Amino acid sequence: MNILLLGYGKMGQLIGEIAESRGHQIAGKITIDNRDELDLLSSDQVDVAIEFSQPEAAVENFEWCLEKGIPVVSGTTGWLSEKPRIEQLTREKNGSFFYASNFSIGVNVFFKVNQFLAKLMNETSGYQATIEEIHHTAKKDAPSGTAITLAEGIIQNHQAYEKWHLTEESSENEQSLAITSKRIDPAPGTHIIRYHSEIDDIEITHTAHSRQGFALGAVLVAEWLKDRKGVYSMDDFLSF
């Protein structure tokens, strides 16, 4: 399979290494510095694109892939206000688009545990939910896409919450779920869900030890997406 890498930072490099170790070829490595090389690529040279770039470049990358008929897998966060439009464009072009805030199998299991716990806590009074996420200092967006997905999982399953906010931002809405974002090197990613009461605390935590799980997940998804059409997520891939 010929894979185009849109974004070639630490994640892009690791994805490339894993893809080649699985017998795939890298059709191109595109960054902000060589974006003009996209014009030299045709759709018959690329089977699928894996997009881990920056929020300001992501939407343009998606549009290029969908116009070319190239399936695209993305893990870039910070652009989600445009997600409905990209999903609509995917359908109009009969294309393939896969987005996940996190490609780690373990994190996606954690998402399900979070939703289940929120349902249980919805029936229990006296607890206040919060989210804390810790990432390396090179991560530009806050909160992380993973933290937003966790917040959405709580909001959908706990009637006490209707939105989320960063703790750095004031919120007078008692139904707003607080997210604390910390940037500490070399942390690849820790997410903590905490339910606090005067009596006790209940916590669930996911801690990534490296980017390996994220990168492998992205390559596995690319292999899965290659011959499919439509808009997909990790729930589709894992068939939860």
209 annotated ligand binder: no
145 annotated ligand binder: yes
74 annotated ligand binder: no
194 annotated ligand binder: no
List beta partners, residue 96.
230
State the amino acid at position 204 in one-letter form: I
146 annotated ligand binder: yes
Query: Which of the residues 119, 139, 196, 226 is marked catalytic?
Result: 139
3-state secondary structure of 101: coil
Query: With contact defined as beta carbons under 8 Å apart, do 107 and 135 qualify?
Result: no
Give the distance from CA 173 to its chain's centroid: 27
94 annotated ligand binder: no
Distance CA 38, CA 202 (A): 49
Length of the chain: 240
75 annotated ligand binder: yes
103 annotated ligand binder: yes
100 annotated ligand binder: yes
The H or E element containing residue 152 is helix 145-157
9 annotated ligand binder: no
To the query of whether residue 139 is one of the catalytic residues in this protein, the response is yes
To the query of whether residue 158 is one of the catalytic residues in this protein, the response is no
Query: Which of the residues 135, 158, 191, 206 is marked catalytic?
Result: 135
Give the contacts of 72 (CB within 8 A, at least 6 positions apart).
6, 48, 49, 50, 51, 61, 62, 65, 66, 95, 96, 97, 98
3-state secondary structure of 203: strand
Distance CA 62, CA 66 (A): 6
Annotated binding site for (S)-2,3,4,5-tetrahydrodipicolinate: 136, 145-146
Annotated binding site for NAD(+): 75-77, 100-103
Annotated binding site: 35, 75-77, 100-103, 136, 145-146
Known catalytic residues are 135, 139
Annotated binding site for NADP(+): 35
